[in-house]
Amino acid sequence: MMFTAEYWSLQIGKHPRRAASILLAVTLLVFQGVLAGAFVFDDVPLIVENPVVTSAGHWRQIFFGSIWSFRGAADLSHFYRPLQLFAYRLLYWLVGPNPAPFHLLELGIYAGTVCIVFGVGRALLRHDLAAFAGALLWALHPLHVETVAWISGLGDASAALLVMVSFWLFLRAERASDRRLAHHARAAGVYFAALLFKELALSFPLLILAYGFFLGGEERWRSRVWRWSPYALATAGYAALRIAALGRFSTAPQPLKLSLSTVGAAVGMFGQHAKLFVWPVHLSTARDFVLSASLRSPWPWPALLALLAAIAFRKRQPVLGFSVAWW
């Protein structure tokens, strides 16, 4: 009895805070070595040599310029991450050029994300042991080491935390008895903050669309439009702010145009990520990507088949299908 999955799931369900504390402790123990790390790679120009971070003022440049705008017009980029710069500026003002507090902040954000992943897993899977195992995998997966150990990964870590919090609030709003618009507005506000840390948070609307497709039941899409409108407003507000700050939304001449090579690159990178997820070896600070070689690899095709199977069997296994689609 004591060694069955159901027994441990029941114990975790009775003591969710204790389980979250274990996840927190494991994460901090495994990654405590990052606190001895230095400023490396982009950390040096982005923080130590960045007048926007080290000098008083420059507030307008934080919120109305790219993250590399301090280098001048010759090095303008489309990376609009004002909250990442603001966090660096605030922490530098408090502790100066000491990397340990920067690492501590990033580790704390990551550890908090692990706990939120556990909460989201409990809400989605309705199986507390599976939620605990999923959060533990999130905490210890080698693909996340760079984000935790590299100070310049603060945008990734913070955006991930806020997207997870936003989705957790979204689930609560969807499952509330009244489904009030205000509940979704709160989640959309957190999503908006995630966008100001990193552009990849723009995937969040796709996540809630996938939720509606797999787990939305028989409710008509038209009835969801008004309830989910705060997320569209947050996206539009971010787009307007980004254009005001950078003068454009994207550096691509036709950002919405999909070419055959773009689709091929997406498939190839999907396969590459699948490989690293299943077999995370030979990791480095940079990845080489060759389109032809990636498409000849066996990895994209089982990953695509898994996605197609999730769609085909969504009515039989909606939670599993949604999980695969999210991944």
Quick: pLDDT tens for 261-283: 889 999 999 999 999 999 998 88
Question: Is there a single domain that holds both residue 276 and residue 237?
Answer: no
In 3D space, the residue among 286, 27, 272 whose CA is nearest the CA of residue 161 turns out to be 27
Query: Is 281 found in the same domain as 229?
Result: no
Considering the domain architecture, whether residues 246 and 271 belong to the same structural domain is answered as no
The neighbour count for residue 31, using CB atoms within 10 Å, is 20
Report how far residue 279's alpha carbon sits from residue 261's, in angstroms, rounded to the nearest whole number.
26
Is residue 10 located within the same domain as residue 134? yes
pLDDT at residue 77, rounded to an integer: 76
CB atoms within 10 A of CB 32: 12
Same domain for 301 and 244? no
Q: What is the pLDDT of residue 282?
A: 86
Domain end: 204, 229, 253, which one? 253
Q: Are residues 145 and 283 both part of a single domain? A: no
Same domain, 154 and 18: yes
Q: How many domains does the chain have?
A: 2
Residue 47 DSSP label: I
∠ CA(16), CA(20), CA(26), 5° rounding? 145
Give the end of a domain, one of 253, 287, 304.
253
Q: Are 46 and 88 in contact (CB under 8 A)?
A: yes
Q: Give the span between the Cα atoms of 177 and 167, in whole angstroms.
A: 18
**Residue 115 and residue 23 in contact, taking contact as beta carbons nearer than 8 Å:** yes
Alpha-carbon span 240 to 193, nearest angstrom: 14
Same domain, 45 and 14: yes
Residue 265's domain spans which residues? 258-327
Both 230 and 263 in one domain: the answer is no
Same-domain status, 150 and 279: no
Say which residues have a Cβ less than 8 Å from residue 275's Cβ, sequence separation at least 6.
297, 299
- In this predicted structure, what is the pLDDT of residue 115? 97
Q: What is the pLDDT of residue 207?
A: 96
Instruction: Please identify, among 211, 236, 253, the residue that sits at the C-terminal boundary of a domain.
Output: 253
Q: Identify the three-state secondary structure at position 297.
A: coil
What is the residue-averaged pLDDT of the chain? 92
Both 150 and 287 in a single domain?
Answer: no
Residues 6+ apart with CB under 8 A from 89: 52, 53, 58, 62
Record the tokens describing residue 218, joined without a space: 């028989």
CB 166 within 8 A of CB 190: yes
How far apart are the C-alpha atoms of 184 and 230, rounded to whole Å?
Answer: 7
* Model confidence pLDDT, tens digit, residues 147-205: 999 999 999 999 999 999 999 999 999 988 777 788 999 999 999 999 999 999 999 99
Closest to 78 in 3D by CA, of 65, 63, 92, 91: 65
- Distance from C-alpha of 137 to C-alpha of 133, rounded to nearest angstrom: 6
Res 288: pLDDT: 82
Tokens read off for 149: 């150990």
* pLDDT at residue 2, as a whole number: 63
Instruction: Kindly compute the dihedral angle of the four CA atoms of residues 294, 295, 297, 303, in this order, to the nearest 10 degrees.
Output: 100
* Cα angle value 281/46/36 (rounded, 5°): 55
Tokens read off for 74? 């010759």
For the chain, which residues score pLDDT lower than 50?
none
**Residue spans of alpha helices (H) in 176-259:** 181-195, 204-215, 221-227, 229-246
The span from the CA of 214 to the CA of 124, in Å, is 12
Determine the Cα–Cα distance for residues 319 and 326; give it in Å rounded to an integer: 10
Contact 111, 28 (CB under 8 A): yes
